[in-house]
Amino acid sequence: MMRVALALSLALAGCTTLSQPSSTAAGMWLTTADETQKLAPQADQQSAGATAGDEAITIDSSKHFQRMHGFGAAMTDATAQLFSGLPEDKRKAIMEELFGRGPNGLGFSFTRLTVGASDFSPDHYSYDDTPGNTPDPALRHFTIDYARRYVLPRTREALAINPDLKVMISPWSAPAWMKTTKSLIKGQLEPQYYPAFATYLARTVEEFGREGVPVSMLTIQNEPDFEPADYPGCV
């Protein structure tokens, strides 16, 4: 199956109707599943002419709504570990292709990191696992050592390539001792540990910053609309 990426190169000012300019053309690039073509430039597609009905699109560039912060992908444990296992020249080439702003780069400007384990992690863990799942509201066992292995080094590498990269972090689960199930799987955060969980998230932001990965945004849960009985909430 072929995937076609379509980009419109239109000079729009004020309120413009796409059907108006007779010389409007769409720039096209082609990527095929067998990888024989990767973002290969194609001939421009000329306009088919004026629209006649509901398909007409009007763009008013004087009106602004929500702001787009960037485009990108998650740097999960699996991704970071895979990249870290590659020969250095191949890893650098891939990172440059993903985050680079040059002619051959995708220019990713946004990435998400997990707070503890996700469903793309080889182990179940949080940043405050305790012996026997004993409560630790003071977070004496807090550590981001797992992130230091692969995720943070690869994120620093991405930031070196694109210093404008924005980093968002999201937990898949609170530490098990904070939850009704005493497990990273399913359950809910116990109200008595709300302050501890808030500190846990704040500590993560602070520690990531000290590691050279400034956090721009934080969500308090991945996919929060799923009911705990139907969704594991972690891995």
Query: pLDDT tens for residues 33-57?
Result: 898 998 899 999 888 777 777 777 7
Final residue of a structural domain among 40, 60, 80: 60
Predicted confidence (pLDDT) at residue 186 exceeds the cutoff of 80: yes
- Say if residue 19's pLDDT is above 60: no
Domain membership of residue 67 (yes or no) is no
Give the residue numbers spanning the domain of 47. 2-60
Name the pLDDT band for 223 (thresholds 50, 70, 90): confident
Label residue 225 by pLDDT band (50, 70, 90): low
pLDDT tens sequence across 100-146: 998 889 999 999 999 999 999 999 999 999 999 999 999 999 999 99
Cα gap 165→101, rounded to integer Å: 11
Nearest residue to 204 via CA among 213, 191, 192: 213
- What is the chain's Cα-based Rg? 23
CB-CB contact of 2 with 36 (8 Å): no
205 and 166 within one domain: yes
Domain identity same for 22 and 114: no
